[in-house]
C-alpha cells in the first residue's frame, strides 16, 4: 500500500511545482509538459505487464528490485541537469513505480483471507483516491518551503520502509525464467506501442491542437493499429500475458466501466480545480492545497468505515450513493462565479470526500469477487489500467472542452458587450473617468477602459467554461452509474451471489 501510495502521489505531485522545475531546467511550457507525460506513458505501459512479470521473477524479488529502482530514479530526478535528463529519469521512475500500484492490489487479492479483503481494499482506496487529492498540496508546500528537489527526495524514506517491509513480510519463491521463452512478446510489443502512443495523444493532444498536428495524427494511427493487433493476439492466444477475457465477466466488465468514469472524475477534478483557483482567484500552490485538503483529509477518516457499511448494505447500493454524491459535488461546482473561493468551495469538496471512498472500496470488491487467485495479476493490471486511462481521457477531454467553451462564451459575451450598447458605453465612460482621475490622458484612459472590459469578458467566459467542465464530469459519472444497475449482487465475504 505504501508503494502504491507513492506511485499515485508522483502522478500529481510535480504539477504544483512544474513552473519551478521548468525555470530551473530552462524549459518552455510546451517542453515541460513532457515531464508529466513521460511518467504517465511509462506507467500505463508497465501496469498490464506486472501480473506476468511478477510470476516470472517472483513477487518478492520483483517488488524489491522495482522499489529500489523507483527510489534511485526519484533521486536522479532531483539531480537532473537539463530537460532531456529529467524526461528520461521521469520515464524510468514511471516504469518502476507503475508496478507498485497493481502489485499492491495483487498482494491483497492473493495473500489476504476473504474476511480481511474488504479491509485491504479500503487501504488500497486510500492510495487511489487520497493520493491524487493530496499530491498538489504536498508538492506546493515542499516547493515553497524548501525547493522543487524535495518533491522527489520525499520518496526516499517511504521507499526505504517499503523495501524493508517487503524483505521482511513476503516469502521468497523461485523464479520461473522458463516463462520468458514462452513469453507473449508480440502481444507485449503491440500493447507497449499502442498504449504508449495513445497516452501521448491524450496528454499532448490539447496542447498541439489535436489533429492539426502531424505528430498527433501519426500517433493516433499507430495507437489504433497496434491496439487492434494487441486485442487480436490476446484474445486468440492460449497463454496471453494478460487475460482480456476477464472483461467478458459481467461484474468485472461493468465495474471497469464505472472505474473509467471514476478515473475521469478523480483526475479531471484535480486537474480543473487548481486551474480555476490560480487563473480566476489568483491562488498560489499553498492556497490551492488548502481547498483540495477538504477532499483529501476527510477521506482518511471515512475510508475505515466503508468495510463495515459493506457488511450491512448491498455493495451496489453503496457504489450508487458514492457515484451520486461525487456527481452532486461536481454539479455544485458548475455554478461558479468570479467570486467563488475557498469558503464557497468547502462544501462541494466535503460532499466529494464522502462520495469517493463509497465508490472505490465496494467497486474493487464487486469487480474481483469470485475470481480465481491465478487471475489476480491480470485482474489487477486491467482494473488499475482502466482507472489511469479514464484519468487521461478525462484530462484530455476537459482541456479541450475548456478551450472550446471559453471561445464560445467569449464570442457570445462579445456580441452582448457591444460598443454600440448603451450599457457598455456607460461603463466605458465610468472607467475612462476613473483612469483619468489616476493621471492618465484621455486617449490612454479610453484604451485602459477598453482593455479592462475585454479582460472582464475573458474572465467571465473562462468562469462559464469551468462550469461547463464540472457539468461534463458530473454527467459522465451519472452515465456510468447505469452500469451499476446490471451488476450481480456480491456477498460481504467476496463471493458472487445470485442477482
Phi and psi at residue 496, to the nearest 5°:
-75, 135
What is the CATH number for 145?
Answer: 1.20.1250.20
pLDDT digits over 219-257, tens only? 999 999 999 999 999 888 888 888 888 888 899 999 999
In this predicted structure, the answer to whether residue 495 has a pLDDT above a threshold of 70 is no
Could you tell me the CA-to-CA distances from 162 to 7, 100, 171 in Å, in that order? 12, 10, 15
**50 domain residue, yes or no:** yes
**DSSP-based three-state secondary structure for 155:** coil
Cell triple for residue 42? 511509462
Domain boundary among 181, 210, 232: 181
**496 domain residue, yes or no:** no
Q: Cα separation of 123 and 420, whole Å? A: 61
For residues 8 and 128, is the Cβ–Cβ distance under 8 A?
A: yes
Could you tell me the CA-to-CA distances from 132 to 125, 192, 377 in Å, in that order? 11, 25, 24
Phi and psi at residue 32, to the nearest 5°:
-65, -25
In this predicted structure, the answer to whether residue 270 has a pLDDT above a threshold of 80 is yes
**493 domain residue, yes or no:** no
Same domain, 264 and 394: yes
Residue from 111, 104, 137 nearest 5 by CA: 104
Same domain, 359 and 449: yes
Domain boundary among 161, 181, 201: 181
Domain boundary among 181, 199, 228: 181
User: Residue 206 sits in which domain range?
Assistant: 184-240
Same domain, 256 and 123: no
For residues 148 and 285, is the Cβ–Cβ distance under 8 A?
A: no
DSSP state of 488: P
**353 domain residue, yes or no:** yes
Give the global pTM.
0.85
pLDDT digits over 41-90, tens only? 888 889 888 888 888 999 999 999 999 999 999 999 999 998 899 999 99
Per the document, the length of the chain is 499
Same domain, 257 and 146: no
* CA atoms in the 13 A half-sphere facing the CB of 83: 18
pLDDT digits over 108-156, tens only? 888 888 888 888 888 888 887 778 777 777 887 888 888 889 989 999 9
Could you tell me the CA-to-CA distances from 173 to 57, 87, 415, 446 in Å, in that order? 9, 35, 71, 78
Would you state the pLDDT for residue 331? 96
Helices (H), 126-155: 131-145, 150-153
Distance of CA 23 to the CA centre of its chain: 25
Task: Catalogue the E-assigned strands of 172-292.
Answer: none
**DSSP-based three-state secondary structure for 496:** strand
CA dihedral 442, 445, 446, 450 (to 10 degrees): 180
**497 domain residue, yes or no:** no
Q: Any bridge partners for residue 496, and if so which?
A: 490
Q: Cα separation of 80 and 470, whole Å? A: 36
**Overall number of domains in the chain:** 3
Same domain, 171 and 274: no
As a whole number of Å, the end-to-end CA separation of the chain is 32
For residues 187 and 238, is the Cβ–Cβ distance under 8 A?
A: no
For residues 106-122, one letter each, b for 16 or more C-beta atoms within 10 angstroms of the residue's C-beta and e for the rest, the string is bbbbebbeeeebbbbbb
pLDDT band at 498 (very low <50, low <70, confident <90, very high): very low
Same domain, 202 and 260: no
Same domain, 367 and 423: yes
In this predicted structure, the answer to whether residue 497 has a pLDDT above a threshold of 60 is no
Residue from 61, 27, 52 nearest 179 by CA: 52
% of the chain surpassing 90 pLDDT: 34
Residue from 480, 137, 128, 456 nearest 330 by CA: 480
**499 domain residue, yes or no:** no
Same domain, 228 and 175: no
Would you state the pLDDT for residue 32? 76
Same domain, 355 and 406: yes
Same domain, 376 and 405: yes
Same domain, 161 and 231: no
Same domain, 396 and 279: yes
**245 domain residue, yes or no:** no
pLDDT digits over 318-340, tens only? 999 999 999 999 999 999 999 98
Would you state the pLDDT for residue 63? 94
Which residue did the predictor score with more confidence, 59 or 370?
59
For residues 336 and 166, is the Cβ–Cβ distance under 8 A?
A: no
**462 domain residue, yes or no:** yes
For residues 64 and 166, is the Cβ–Cβ distance under 8 A?
A: yes
CA dihedral 285, 290, 296, 298 (to 10 degrees): 170
Question: Cell 495479476 sits at which residue?
Answer: 377
pLDDT digits over 392-451, tens only? 888 888 988 998 999 999 988 877 776 767 777 777 788 888 778 877 777 787 788 888
Amino acid at each position: 500500500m505504501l508503494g502504491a501510495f507513492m506511485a499515485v502521489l508522483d502522478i500529481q505531485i510535480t504539477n504544483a511545482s512544474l513552473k519551478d522545475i521548468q525555470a530551473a531546467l530552462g524549459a518552455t511550457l510546451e517542453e515541460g509538459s513532457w515531464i508529466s507525460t513521460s511518467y504517465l506513458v511509462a506507467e500505463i505501459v508497465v501496469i498490464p505487464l506486472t501480473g506476468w512479470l511478477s510470476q516470472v521473477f517472483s513477487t518478492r524479488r520483483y517488488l524489491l528490485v522495482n522499489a529500489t529502482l523507483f527510489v534511485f530514479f526519484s533521486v536522479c530526478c532531483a539531480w537532473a541537469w537539463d530537460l532531456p535528463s529529467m524526461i528520461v529519469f521521469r520515464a524510468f521512475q514511471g516504469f518502476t513505480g507503475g508496478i507498485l500500484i497493481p502489485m499492491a492490489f495483487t498482494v491483497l487479492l492473493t495473500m489476504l483471507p476473504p474476511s480481511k479483503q474488504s479491509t485491504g481494499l479500503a487501504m488500497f482506496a486510500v492510495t487511489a483516491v487520497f493520493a491524487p487529492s493530496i499530491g498538489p498540496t504536498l508538492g506546493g508546500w515542499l516547493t515553497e518551503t524548501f525547493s522543487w528537489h524535495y518533491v522527489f527526495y520525499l520518496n526516499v524514506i517511504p521507499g526505504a520502509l517499503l523495501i524493508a517491509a517487503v524483505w521482511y513480510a513476503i516469502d521468497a519463491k523461485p523464479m520461473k525464467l522458463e516463462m520468458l521463452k514462452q513469453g507473449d512478446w508480440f502481444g507485449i510489443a503491440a500493447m507497449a506501442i499502442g498504449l504508449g502512443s495513445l497516452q501521448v495523444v491524450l496528454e499532448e493532444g490539447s496542447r498541439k491542437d489535436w489533429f492539426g498536428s502531424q505528430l498527433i495524427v501519426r500517433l493516433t494511427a499507430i495507437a489504433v493499429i497496434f491496439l487492434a493487433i494487441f486485442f487480436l493476439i490476446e484474445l486468440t492466444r492460449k497463454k496471453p500475458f494478460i487475460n482480456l477475457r476477464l472483461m467478458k465477466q459481467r461484474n468485472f466488465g461493468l465495474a471497469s466501466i464505472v472505474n473509467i468514469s471514476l478515473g475521469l472524475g478523480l483526475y479531471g477534478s484535480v486537474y480543473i480545480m487548481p486551474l480555476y483557483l490560480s487563473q480566476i482567484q489568483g491562488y498560489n500552490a499553498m492556497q490551492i492545497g488548502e481547498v483540495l485538503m477538504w477532499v483529501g483529509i476527510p477521506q482518511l477518516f471515512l475510508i475505515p468505515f466503508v468495510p463495515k457499511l459493506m457488511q450491512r448494505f448491498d455493495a451496489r447500493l453503496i457504489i450508487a450513493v458514492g457515484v451520486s454524491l461525487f456527481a452532486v459535488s461536481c454539479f455544485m461546482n458548475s455554478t461558479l462565479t468570479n467570486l467563488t473561493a475557498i469558503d464557497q468551495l468547502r462544501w462541494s469538496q466535503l460532499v466529494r470526500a464522502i462520495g469517493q471512498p463509497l465508490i472505490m472500496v465496494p467497486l474493487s470488491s464487486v469487480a474481483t469477487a469470485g475470481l480465481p487467485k491465478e487471475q489476480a495479476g491480470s485482474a489487477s493490471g486491467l482494473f488499475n489500467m482502466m482507472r489511469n486511462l479514464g484519468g487521461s481521457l478525462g484530462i484530455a477531454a476537459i482541456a479541450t472542452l475548456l478551450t472550446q467553451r471559453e471561445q464560445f462564451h467569449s464570442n457570445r459575451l462579445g456580441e452582448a458587450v457591444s460598443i454600440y450598447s448603451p450599457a457598455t458605453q456607460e461603463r466605458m465612460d465610468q472607467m475612462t473617468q476613473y483612469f483619468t482621475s489616476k493621471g492618465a490622458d484621455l486617449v490612454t484612459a479610453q484604451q485602459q477602459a477598453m482593455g479592462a472590459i475585454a479582460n472582464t469578458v475573458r474572465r467571465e467566459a473562462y468562469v462559464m467554461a469551468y462550469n461547463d467542465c464540472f457539468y461534463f464530469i458530473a454527467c459522465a459519472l451519472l452515465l456510468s452509474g447505469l452500469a451499476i444497475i446490471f451488476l450481480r449482487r456480491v456477498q460481504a465475504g467476496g463471493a458472487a451471489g445470485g442477482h
